[in-house]
Amino acid sequence: MSKRNDYDYFNLDNFDDGYDSRDYRRRQPERRQGSYNRRPVYSSASRRRNNKRRTRNRIIMVSCGILIIILIIVAISSVFRGCFGTEPTSASVSTETKPSNNVQTTTAPQTTKEDDLSPAYFKTPKIEDDNTNGTMSYGIYVWNKKAYELFGSDDERAKNYADTINGFAEKLNGIKVYDMVIPNHTEMGLPQRLKDSDAPSSSQAENIKSIYANLSDNVTAVNAYNYLADHNDEYIYFGSDHHWTGRGAYYAYAAFAKSNGLDVLSLDDCTEQKIEGFTGTFSNTVSGLDTDTVHYWEFPYNVTMNITDANGNVSTYTSPYYQYAEAGTLTYGVFIVGDNPLTVLSSDSEKAKEGKKIAVVKESYGNAFVPYLTYNYDEVHVIDFRSFSGNLVSYCQENGIDEVLFLNGIMSANTQIQLDSMSGLFD
């Protein structure tokens, strides 16, 4: 049987019009006997019937004509939509192209499915595999001139971290608490083939998923994993260092902002800067690695940064970036001048509501992340739990802070000594 035409449904031959086609036949007039040459005479009743019939037929014909016109208009509209449709597609929404390490794109994530931010839904990152093998060097796996820090953990450690954060949230009663765990480069850059053989490494997605599943209702999990997975073909991790890049941190910021209904800063509105020749932490023990480039973005608004060092001395800067950072092993220090006990960023961004404040409890993974929050917050208080000597609860109360984000790299979240150090914030 041939495929039925889409318009057959509207074919008038199939349309139940409610009348009998026999009504179209003209009835012969009644003739008087013996008067064949005289004009036929109709009775009043007969004339009324004929008039009603003609009126009905005209109505039917007009109705059919209108229906045909409507069908023609619908058909033409369908053709034009098919040729010039305006429905957004993934191709039209995103202008991302795959860059090399030194080629950047600046398009912010424009669309977000609800699943992308779900703490229970994790995407599988697409990782290019040239089917070559790497080498193990001092516990670091080297593949294609990039170094990867391998990861190993289990559900018990994941639950331990979640329980620790839950305990913090109870002590921060009345303060909104967020938690974000960041995967490292191994998860997003090393093919599963190698993680199953030469470079044994546990699934970081499963670890983070287990952490989020064990968080209490007092903690809001922020799923940055999916945003990183969506952009893992970009330059979001360094190859010679264990940190993410400024771009990787930006996508985590976008996840945080969208999950909380905040506007997302567009990098198109910022001025990109870069420092070539970064030789990260892995370069100290592994030779033959490619050097990295550190990218950062200056904002279209003013930011004041006050840094309090371990001795209580305060230094003031007019940017969240250290403009004198140079190539070498310390280039990552361009972000908020590296690790300090307390850093406070103040912003005059139009999107930052007056008095809106957040504290970010972090290790060095947070350094590249916190500058972006100045777009949405009047003040961003950055606390490095490894060296901050104050009590977090008291600090938040004294400074009018009602939001706290615990941001940890995956390695830190699964290391007990780091959790013990964080717990010191509540002594």
Q: Which two tokens stand for residue 9?
A: 């449904």
Sole residue written with tokens 């970036």: 321
Query: Which helix (H) or strand (E) element contains residue 143?
Result: strand 140-143
Burial 271-289 (b: 16+ CB within 10 A, else e): eeeebeebbbbbbeebeeb
Judging by beta carbons within 10 Å of its beta carbon (0-12, 13-18, 19+), is residue 383 exposed, middle or buried?
buried
Q: What is the pLDDT of residues 2-17, one digit of tens each?
A: 433 333 333 333 333 3
Q: Which pLDDT tens digits describe the chain residue by residue (427 residues)?
A: 443 333 333 333 333 333 333 333 333 444 334 433 444 444 555 555 566 666 666 666 766 667 677 766 655 554 444 443 433 333 333 333 333 444 444 455 656 788 899 999 999 999 999 999 999 998 899 999 999 999 999 999 999 999 999 999 999 999 999 999 999 999 999 999 999 999 999 999 999 999 999 999 999 999 999 999 999 999 999 999 999 999 999 999 999 999 999 999 999 999 999 999 999 999 999 999 999 999 999 999 999 999 999 999 999 999 999 989 999 999 999 999 999 999 999 999 999 989 999 999 999 999 999 999 999 999 999 999 999 999 999 999 999 999 999 999 999 999 999 999 999 999 9
pLDDT in tens, 253-272: 999 999 999 999 999 999 99
- The label of the residue with tokens 């305990």 reads 167
Q: Where are the domains of the chain?
A: 111-426
